[in-house]
A and B are shown apart, each in its own frame.
Chain A
Amino acid sequence: MLPFLVFVGIFLLVPTVTVVVGAFQSDDGGFSLDRVRALTDETPMRALRESMLLSFSSAAVGSVLGALLAYLVVTAPPTSVIRRTVTAVCGVLAQFGGVTLAFAWMATLGFGGLVTNLLADAFGRDDSGSAWLYELPGLVLVYTYFQIPLMVIVFLPALEGLRPQWREAAVNLGASTRQYWFQVALPLLRPAFLGSALLLFANAFAAYATAAALVSQGAPITPLLIRSALTSEIVLGQANFGYALALQMVVVVAVVMTLYAWLLKRTSRWLS
């Protein structure tokens, strides 16, 4: 138990306390609400909005497509090649974030990227392409790339927990396929699905490296705004504002993870 507590203390408690204390400190060390109040300025509000939008849309797309893919996987026999391949690939791709992923997309769809050039050759479009990949739509697309596999991994156990016996029971009682899905399977799956979607949301909300590699102009999302607060050589003295921004992120993720834990508890009632 002690090693665990030490670990949690160093990696979770100390940083969180540092952030909370820092967020409520004025520059001379006293208590102050200035930094937290500054969160309501236009730029941080806008970053938060865009962050939420990015996390929500990439989680929505990721969870729907991921759930469909997971369903396809689960209908294949447990030992089939397809199933083993898909789960293995998802396991890898769910962690394929960061700078590598950003550069992979730049080489594909960025300026002078492979697909951009192919499109330019095929349709005579301007080979300089457009900038959407480096803005919010691009981030949604790139994030979706690791969201779908993550969904497959976290949602698969729920689908597997759906016993064939329940379906047989429903059919024996005279249910149609439609009735089985809408009255038995989907209500059972709903908490697991929503929980997984929340996890995806938190995943996208906290992701930094991919966005940092992709977006060099401006700070459209909160993690990038923290970067610019820490490194700006033009607007000085706002490094401590980073604490307030970090606190804001901690609060959002805490809310999301609490909901996730609650939904997980509901799922585990039948999934065992």
Chain B
Amino acid sequence: MKVRTSFISALAVATLVSLAACAPPDDDKDSGSENSSDAASATSAADLGGLDALVEAAEKEGELNVIALPPDWANYGTIIEAFEKKYDIKVNSAQPDAASQDEINAAEQLAGSDRAPDVFDLGQSVALANTDMFAPYQVETFDEIPAEFKDPDGTWVNDYGGFMSVGYDSAKVPDVTSLDDLLGSEFKGKVALNGDPTQAGAAFSGVVMASVANGGSVDDIAPGVEYFGKLKDAGNFLPVDPTAATIESGQTPVVIDWDYLNAAESAKLESWKVFVPEDAPIAGYYFQAINADAPHPAAARLWQEFLYSDEGQNLWLGGGARPVRADAMVEAGTIDQELYDALPEVTGTPVIPTNEQTESMAAYLAENWAKAIG
């Protein structure tokens, strides 16, 4: 039968995956040493006898599985390279373009196999809904992370964040000074949002930004949806997922996205500028966590130590993201000042929605986004 059976084959794959998941867990042959079983329950490097012991255990495992880390997102390409170079550990990067929920799905489906992700980098809602899957761990620099950006036990820790911004090609469109500018006729068919806000965190925050800028708040996202409705009616809204490729080829001349992602494009496209609206500085942090069932528990913990070290934090900064230890590092003088000063200027008080606010806004979006934009 010639039916295009993507649906059936998807089901078939799902069956295979679930069958694979039923297969008996393969006991880590190469990492069955005592160190590793200790590592799986270690809540700090000290539990294992210090950082050196952790490095040794991790190098013995020799591998680290990461998932959903795009190389051009917050400098992850360089971070992975630096980690591999520093330690004798191979990083397996799966599904770089996957969404946060895909990370959790992969961890559930691959549980017990040595291909399961060791660490997560998640959006807020997904992270807070799945805390029982994480292993608590406190990195050596744990105390320097502000209390509001971490779970007290280290079950999750914010890693890097940024502000919602408008990136635009100044060679193609006039300078953007407010979100209302985007409704003008010069922006016809040019304004793209990074993803579908009912699915992707970055796009969701974009709608929150539009809402705050238009008299809404983090409790009321309706004005944001209305704004995008107007954008759509004006013929300005571009229903294309922006990527580095669409930006460089000029297909998406205006992109609403995190400032660090937009800033990364400036390096490749000289006329690319980043604008963070003064009246709506929406901040958002991603969540870092260790998979409780990590096949490489020591490497997973070493990865955290690396990310929260000065080196790791400065690497994130190199991608235009605001590392969570930035304030402490400024004080200690360990931050890369040049990179820090290059971050887009933000005035006004940063707004970070709480989880409850995010949930109620998400419920509104699920009901109304399709109507406004469909």
Chain A interface residues toward B at CB < 8 A: 10-12, 14-16, 18-19, 42-43, 46, 94-95, 97-98, 110-112, 126, 128-131, 134-135, 146, 150, 153-154, 199, 202-203, 206-209, 215-220, 223, 228, 230-237, 239, 246, 249, 253
Contact = CB atoms under 8 A, between A and B. Distances in A.
B91 interface: no
* A-B complex: 6 closest residue pairs judged by Cβ atoms: A15-B11, A216-B241, A128-B189, A233-B100, A217-B239, A206-B7
B99 A130 contact: no
A236 B6 contact: no
Contacts of B3: 199, 202-203, 206
Contacts of A112: 249-251
B189 A134 contact: no
B4 A206 contact: yes
B199 A233 contact: yes
A234 B370 contact: no
Contacts of A223: 6-7
Interface residues of B, number: 58
B82 interface: no
A150 B2 contact: yes
Nearest to B371: A42
B189 to A, nearest CB: 4
Contacts of B195: 216
10 contacts: A18-B15, A43-B367, A206-B7, A209-B6, A215-B239, A218-B370, A234-B204, A235-B366, A236-B101, A249-B7
Contacts of B12: 10-11, 15
A128 B188 contact: yes
A129 B189 contact: yes
Contacts of A146: 4
Contacts of A130: 189, 235
A197 to B, nearest CB: 13
Contact of A233 (B2, B126, B250, B251): B126
Nearest to A224: B196
B369 interface: yes
Given A206-B4, A207-B4, A228-B199, 11 more contacts: A15-B14, A218-B374, A231-B99, A232-B99, A232-B101, A234-B197, A234-B198, A234-B199, A234-B204, A235-B366, A237-B129
Nearest to A136: B374
Interface of B: 2-8, 10-12, 14-15, 19, 98-102, 105, 122-123, 125-126, 129, 188-190, 193, 195-201, 204, 235, 237-241, 249-253, 358, 362-363, 365-367, 369-371, 373-374
Given A111-B189, A130-B235, A233 B101 contact: yes
Contacts of B251: 110-112
A216 B370 contact: no
A231 B195 CA distance: 12
Contacts of A235: 198-199, 362-363, 365-366
